[in-house]
Amino acid sequence: MVLPNEPEFKQAYNELVSALEDSTLFSQSPEYKKVIPVVSIPERIIQFRVTWENDKGEIEVNNGFRVQFNSALGPYKGGLRFHPTVNLSILKFLGFEQIFKNALTGLSMGGGKGGSDFNPKGRSDNEIRRFCTAFMRQLARYIGADTDVPAGDIGVGGREVGYMFGAYKQMQNNWSGILTGKGLTWGGSLIRPEATGYGLVYYVEKMIEKATNGKETFKGKKVAISGSGNVAQYAALKVIELGGIVVSLSDSKGAIISESGITPDQIAEIGSAKLKHKSLHEIISASVFTQGGKASVEYIEGARPWVHVGQVDVALPSATQNEVSGDEAKALIQNGCKFIAEGSNMGSTKEAIDVFEESRSKDVWYAPGKASNAGGVAVSGLEMAQNSQRVQWTTEEVDSKLKTIMYECFDNCYETAVKYSADKNSEGLPSLLKGANIAGFIKVADAMFSQGDVF
């Protein structure tokens, strides 16, 4: 199959296809091969112009997109990303990943992704509101609670979802669950902001338990985390709650490293700074980052954390795609890292994945984002269910459902890896990379056969 010249999409496609080909799936069930060329083309792509007015009264223009990739399992579902790097290759890779991730949640959701090359950094709240309204003016006619339900991603959080929801409601005269990640007092789900980070840690809990026959937990483990947005913040808080030590966080300008562990107070400070698009560098002089008059964290400009963290047990890339290189993967393993799980989408380069997968025989275990970060969209699915019933579940109810979904997602990846493993006799842990890709793919493929999308 000839793929368009879209590097990130090609990378995501190759990850899936090589995981399938390097297993016994096609020898056991050759008909699944027919699904690949069909599932790799989006059902529909919408591309539109967004013009809006900045604070100086001038016109600005951006590209807007929605990739409606696959609706075999439910309405298209996936976030919106506002970032200057957004283009069709990025959104197609994200949409493609989302199809199989959503399948792994066990909930009824298809896959999609959208966004804009609008850069929210340095924009006033009024500019963000005007941009969101202009964006929704174009998107509104293509979405719906049973058609396509966007949510947040990089650059889109509760504030942006609120402005877009308001714009939709005014235009369509219709209050329905057309977006997830809504405010908690108006249709949002408890635990949705925490869900991706918490879910990531729940998934890794199971990895640790399985790999050590229940002998070890997060307690006392050193955990390197990258990123400082919503995923990284809540992953860090959950690691701390479970007794782990978070030794790093980062943003696009640099990394902070803390031998003794980043504290919940520091994470709260980072959380409020990030809402204002401030960099870590701008806030590390705040009092929560000093102890006895001395800096309690080290700041490394222009760096990602991986080669700077020293000995760690767990690494959770939670910033953006391709944020771990082959050399960084090697450095992590040399420093004793045993568990790597992505909070970001496609956080590891192909070279890094090869390093991790080759190290399974040395008890190194890697989980791809489409499994380990599925908690966010899972709670989005629970938000849709609550909206349909016009109810709101308690924190405990949502958190326990999230935990069950992540634990079952792990079991599904593990069992599928064992079932379709082509290298059964080789030593090492089963490949969660293969398990996640095969399990997600089979679920979508079976629905596509049943619905006549493939025959």
Active site residues: 113
Nearer to ligand GLU by Cβ, of 156 and 312: the residue is 156
439 neighbors 421 (Cβ within 8 angstroms) = no
Minimum distance from CB of 97 to ligand GLU (Å)? 8
Q: Which helix (H) or strand (E) holds 62?
A: strand 59-70
Q: Which of 67, 143, 151, 284 binds ligand GLU (CB under 6 A)?
A: 151
DSSP 352-406: HHHHHHHGGGGT-EEE-HHHHTTHHHHHHHHHHHHHHHT----HHHHHHHHHHHH
Q: Which of 204, 205, 179 is nearest to 192 (CA)?
A: 179
CB of 391 vs ligand GLU, minimal distance in Å: 19
Cβ-based nearer residue to ligand GLU, 258 or 387: 387
- Give the CA radius of gyration of the chain: 21
210 is in an annotated binding site: no
Q: Does 78 bind ligand GLU (CB under 6 A)?
A: yes
What are 351's two structure tokens?
């070279």
DSSP 224-291: EE---SHHHHHHHHHHHHTT-EEEEEEETTEEEE-SS---HHHHHHHHHHHHTT--HHHHTTSGGGEE
Q: Which of 42, 75, 79, 187 binds ligand GLU (CB under 6 A)?
A: 79
196 annotated to bind ligand:
yes
Nearer to ligand GLU, 12 or 151 (CB): 151
Buried b (16+ CB within 10 A) or exposed e, 320-344: bbbbbbbebbbbbbebebbbbbbbb
Is 194 a residue that touches ligand GLU (CB under 6 A)?
Answer: no
**Which secondary-structure segment (H or E) carries 69?**
strand 59-70
**DSSP letter for each residue of 285-348:** TSGGGEETTEESSEEEET--STTTS-S-SEEE--SSTT-B-HHHHHHHHHTT--EEE-SSTT-B
Measure the CA angle with vertex 187, ends 184 and 189; round to 5°. Answer: 55
Under rule CB under 6 A, residue 180 binds ligand GLU: yes
**Tokens 């771990």, residue located:** 324
Q: Least distance (Å) from ligand GLU to the CB of residue 376?
A: 4
Q: Does residue number 99 form part of the binding site for ligand GLU (CB under 6 A)? A: no
Piece of the chain touching ligand GLU by CB under 6 A; list 212-220, 256-264, 372-380, 413-421: 372-380
Q: Which stretch binds ligand GLU (CB under 6 A): 59-67, 71-79, 234-242, 350-358?
A: 71-79
Beta strands 365-367 and 339-341 are: parallel
Smallest separation, CB 14 to ligand GLU (Å)? 20
In the complex with ligand GLU, the residue whose CB is nearer, 71 or 380, is 380
Q: Total residues contacting ligand GLU (rule CB under 6 A)?
A: 10
Nearest to ligand GLU of 244, 376 (CB atom): 376
Choice from 177, 188, 376, 440 touching ligand GLU (CB under 6 A): 376
Whole-number Å distance between alpha carbons of 102 and 391: 23
Residue nearest to ligand GLU (CB): 79
Binding to ligand GLU by residue 153, rule CB under 6 A? yes
**98 is an annotated ligand-binding site residue:** yes
Nearer to ligand GLU, 262 or 439 (CB): 439
- Considering only 74, 75, 77, 190, the residue that binds ligand GLU (CB under 6 A) is 77
Query: Could you tell me which residues are annotated as the binding site for NAD(+)?
Result: 196, 230
Query: Could you tell me which residues are annotated as the binding site for substrate?
Result: 77, 98, 101, 152, 380
- Residue numbers at the binding site for ligand GLU (CB under 6 A): 77-79, 151, 153, 180, 345, 376-377, 380
Query: Could you tell me which residues are annotated as the binding site?
Result: 77, 98, 101, 152, 196, 230, 380
